[in-house]
Amino acid sequence: MQVTAYAHRVHLLSPLSSPALSLPSAKHCRCRNRNAAATTVRMGLREDGPSVAVVGVTGAVGQEFLRVLSDRDFPYRNIRLLASRRSAGKRLTFEDREYTIEELRPESFEGIDIALFSAGGSISKEFGPVAVERGSIVVDNSSAFRMVPEVPLVIPEVNPEAMAHIKLKGRSGKGALIANPNCSTIICLMAATPLHRHAKVVRMVVSTYQAASGAGAAAMEELLQQTHEVLDGKHPTCKIFKQQYAFNLFSHNAAVLSNGYNEEEMKLVKETRKIWNDMDVKVTATCIRVPVMRAHAESVNLQFEKPLDEDTARRILEGAAGVAVIDDRESNHFPTPLDVSNKDDVAVGRIRQDLSQDGNLGLDIFVCGDQIRKGAALNAIQIAEKLL
């Protein structure tokens, strides 16, 4: 697939942009490429496919939408690329066809079956309901609708049943909204949910180490620029963040609420309860921004209702869809953001019994996942695949 030079530049900010690069082998590592035909819909451009719109196509996630659509041969009969007025009229090549980016308008959704949104919460709130009124199924990557009770909040490997009642308009004549969870929630629950199903999590403590990609393409550019500036002995340019990012880490830049938690941390709390359909599960989180270009890491401590030993937990995770286990104690090799950059799987390691809890009622795990891919674009397109 070809994309704009801008998109290539953003994509190449990751040292692991080569699609041929696979996850490293390890003693306890089951590494898979989720682009394999056995796990994806392989149809591509076809007359009986749905009509697709990508909203926010010039952003980092919007560009990743296109990569994932192409990688997975998602079926579509036509595709409409939508962005703000300043990007309208620009040309973009997708799967050897040239398209003109169109300005986002209410009429943009006429005849659209599936609309993939990643243009920010305010745009989603304005145009999401408009698209639904015109019969489109909106898969929204913002936080605008996640906690609306009637809107499904979906990770396809975790709770596909939440969207079972939604059908493409060609079959039902109705539009609908489906929300993509926050990237940190997706990465965490991909690993925690298989264990939760087996032994029931009663309390979860999450500490995140979040990459620049979570703040968008501009933040990735700023980290790269600051790294060059600091190495050259210059004062770092701080536009996206209020403090130096290169060679530093700091509390996540989301607004801090009256309870002392920031918005990112509360998303993990609230979204976990909704996705697991369990308002009693106790969740606490501390979210940190680290100078990593792409892919988040998370330390997760789990307390269970029933005993779960680490060997059983490892076997459960090795069999979990979308999860790769990297857990080689002998060589001290465990998941890293570089391992998962541009990869579909979430990697899990450091699987060990929590010594502070008796009776095999606690585990610690370390999780890494590509925020732009599984944490955003891939998850949204997997949702769309469930509609086919």
Spell out the SS3 assignment of 157-188. CCCHHHHCCCCCHHHHCCCEEEECCCHHHHHH
Alpha carbon separation from 360 to 204, 217, 303, 306, 308 (Å, rounded): 15, 43, 9, 8, 5
pLDDT for res 174:
82
What is the per-residue pLDDT for 169?
65
Q: Which pLDDT band, with edges at 50, 70 and 90, does 37 fall under?
A: very low
Segment holding 122, helix H or strand E: helix 121-133
From the list 11, 29, 183, 188, the catalytic residue is: 183
Return d(Cα 320, Cα 338) in angstroms, integer: 21
Res. 67 pLDDT band, cuts 50 70 90: very high
Of the listed ranges 15-24, 159-168, 339-348, the least confidently predicted one is 15-24
Residue identified by tokens 């990643």 is 118
- % of the chain with per-residue pLDDT over 90: 84
Q: How many CB atoms lie within 10 A of CB 137?
A: 26
Cα dihedral 140, 191, 7, 32 sign: negative
Q: Which fold has domain 184-370?
A: Dihydrodipicolinate Reductase; domain 2 (3.30.360)
183 classed as catalytic: yes
Q: Which part of the chain is CATH 3.30.360.10?
A: 184-370
Intervals of CATH 3.40.50.720 along the chain: 51-180+377-387
Which fold is adopted by the domain 51-180+377-387?
A: Rossmann fold (3.40.50)
Flag whether pLDDT at 33 surpasses 90: no
Consecutive H or E run containing 98: strand 97-100
Active site residue 252: no
Q: What is the pLDDT of residues 244-273, one digit of tens each?
A: 999 999 999 999 999 999 999 999 999 999
Closest C-alpha among 364, 314, 367, 365 to residue 336: 367
Does the pTM exceed 0.75?
yes
Of the ranges 4-18, 25-39, 185-199, which one carries the lowest mean pLDDT score? Answer: 4-18
pLDDT, tens digit, 9 for 90 and up, residues 87-127: 999 999 999 999 999 999 999 999 999 999 999 999 999 99
Give per-residue pLDDT as tens, 189-247.
Answer: 999 999 999 999 999 999 999 999 999 889 999 999 999 999 999 999 999 999 999 99
Annotated active-site residue in 28, 252, 296, 333: 296
- For residue 256, give both structure tokens: 């801090």
Give the integer Cα–Cα distance in Å for 335 and 331: 12
Give me the chain's average pLDDT, please. 89
Q: What is the mean pLDDT of residues 24-51?
A: 55
Sorting pLDDT into bands at 50, 70 and 90, what band is 170? low
CB burial of residue 386 (10 Å; 0-12, 13-18, 19+): middle
pLDDT in tens, 309-337: 999 999 999 999 999 999 999 999 999 99
Do residues 149 and 125 make contact, with C-beta atoms less than 8 angstroms apart? no
For 42-51, 114-123, 275-284, which range has the lowest pLDDT when averaged over its residues? 42-51
